[in-house]
Amino acid sequence: MSTNGIYDKQAEAYEAMISKQPDLAGVIYEKKPYEGLDVLDLGAGSGRLSMLLAGDVRSLICTDIAQPMLDILDDKLSEAYNSRNWTTVVADHRSLPIDSSSVDLIVSGWSISYLADLSHDDWRENLELVMTELQRVLRPGGTIVILETMGTGTETPNPPDFLTGYYEQLEHQYRFNHQWIRTDYVFETVEEALHHTGFFFGEELTDKIQANQWSTVPECAGIWWKHV
């Protein structure tokens, strides 16, 4: 099954897996204090970032290409917050149904990479379209924060080869700042780690988990940010 198929058909399993990762609210806040801001979560999925922001922002637009992921997010937000300050929208990153100059902060977690990996002959064009859209919807003085993988099952950054071109473009072409952090998955047992990660990452990771008897699965993430 493709990764996109997983987001459509195994959204609940994906949500169960990412729920074992750390709270990244402080990481985002460090780049841009977000109280009272209008925020776009690009590729929001089941809400890994949206759930951290909704209680403090003025408004939150959550876009994703997979409706099942947004359904989970909408249920979670409805349960957690009384005031509905969010909207969920099925949208392609390259053509956003969002007004120009309408948001103060854009966050995007583990999402743009699906359009900008080297398996796409037109990955540079895809990235340019995404960046143009982000610049369009962002207000002057706004901030973009992007998180992407720097390797799962590794304790220091080891980004996949098919993403290094994208990351180089972010830093050199689009002038983003960059750092990396750990985003480990913390499970109670090795068996739980195997159960919750295999469907997404496959045998390469589950073999590592078994060999190292990991209940905590190491992962590194990159953070790219830019003030406009």
> How far is the C-alpha of 159 from the C-alpha of 77, rounded, in Å?
32
What pLDDT does residue 4 have?
Answer: 52
Which domains occur in the chain, in start order?
3-185+221-227 (3.40.50.150)
CA-based nearest residue to 72, from 10, 114, 149? 10
What pLDDT does residue 3 have?
Answer: 53
The pTM of this model reads 0.94
Query: What is the Cβ-side half-sphere exposure of residue 201, based on CA atoms within 13 angstroms?
Result: 23
Q: Which distant-in-sequence residues (6+ apart) come within 8 Å of 50 by Cβ?
A: 41, 44, 60, 62, 73, 77, 86
Q: Percentage of residues in the chain with pLDDT exceeding 70?
A: 96
Average pLDDT over the chain, rounded to an integer: 95
- What pLDDT digit, counting tens, does each position of 72-122 carry? 999 999 999 988 999 999 999 999 999 999 999 999 999 999 999 999 999
Distance, C-alpha 203 to centroid of its chain? 23
216-217/103-109 β-pairing: unpaired
